[in-house]
Amino acid sequence: MNSDAITSESAIDFRDSLRGLGPVGIVAFLIVLAGAFVLMPVAAALILFWAWLSKTPWREIGLARPKSWIGGAVAGIAIGVALKFLLKAVILPYIGAQAVNHSVLHDMGLQPATAINLALYSIYGGGFAEELVFRGYLFERLGKLIGSSTIATLFILVFTTALFASAHWQLGPFGMAQAVVTGLTLGSIYLATGRKLWVPMFVHAAFDVTSVWMIYYGYENQIAHLVFK
């Protein structure tokens, strides 16, 4: 066997190890996880690098071409905005949440430049990065570990939602409760659309941008009392 064949075989073995669940695959997973603790876009970049390096098809992490970009965008934005209003006006007040969640965002004092930066981050950090991490990547990795049966898929949906909620600990208990609802919704949409991320990405981005809009213009109190006075 010549050196080129040996090199090619070694490269294939390395790619297979990255996609597998052995030591190399576990190290790769831990590196992505460490990136998520630093910043979600960092984790997303690491996932894309892992997919390229391991020759994992983009569709396996949810990056498959949608049937309609415009239809997906319109549906996703509409769902995201509606979900935020539903949570703010009905679900959160019903479980006893205060009209205004004095969290990190409020403490920052939203000046125009800050609001714009947060809205932009809502698109690439929330909509793209968090969906790639919590839906695309984790669904693929956990599916590789425990399978794709109905029970396994439901477990993955619940488990990734719990991780998603935990990642929003800085928003307090009601913020985490909101993340549970959004996580279950986004995961369900991901599965319903054939494990494609684009609609959940639009939903997530629209949800977060609407949150920034409510905070910046001071509409939270009004919206929180639309149903429950």
The reported pLDDT for the residue numbered 66 is 86
Which value, in Å, is the radius of gyration of the alpha carbons in the chain? 20
Task: Look up residue 146 and give its two tokens.
Answer: 């425990």
Higher pLDDT residue, 113 or 53? 53
For every residue of the chain, which 3-state class applies, written as one string?
CCHHHHHHHHHHHHHHHHHCCCHHHHHHHHHHHHHHHHCHHHHHHHHHHHHHHHCCCHHHHCCCCCCCHHHHHHHHHHHHHHHHHHHHHHHHHHCCCCCCCCCHHHHHCCCHHHHHHHHHHHHHHHHHHHHHHHHHHHHHHHHHHHCCCHHHHHHHHHHHHHHHHHCCHHHHHHHHHHHHHHHHHHHHHHHHCCCCCHHHHHHHHHHHHHHHHHHHCCCHHHHHCCCCC
How do residues 71-102 score in pLDDT, each as one tens digit?
999 999 999 999 999 999 999 999 998 888 77
Which has the higher per-residue pLDDT, 133 or 113?
A: 133
Distance CA 73, CA 19 (A): 31
Provide the pLDDT for residue 107. 56
pLDDT of 105 higher than 70: no
Q: Which residue has the higher pLDDT, 115 or 184?
A: 184
Task: Tell me if residue 160 falls in helix, strand or coil.
Answer: helix
Question: What is the pLDDT, as a whole number, of residue 171?
Answer: 87
Show me where the domains of the chain are located. 1-56, 64-224
Question: How many C-beta atoms surround the C-beta of residue 82 within 10 A?
Answer: 14
pTM confidence score: 0.91
Question: Would you give the distance in Å from CA 8 to the centre of its chain?
Answer: 35
- CA dist 82 and 85 (Å) reads 5
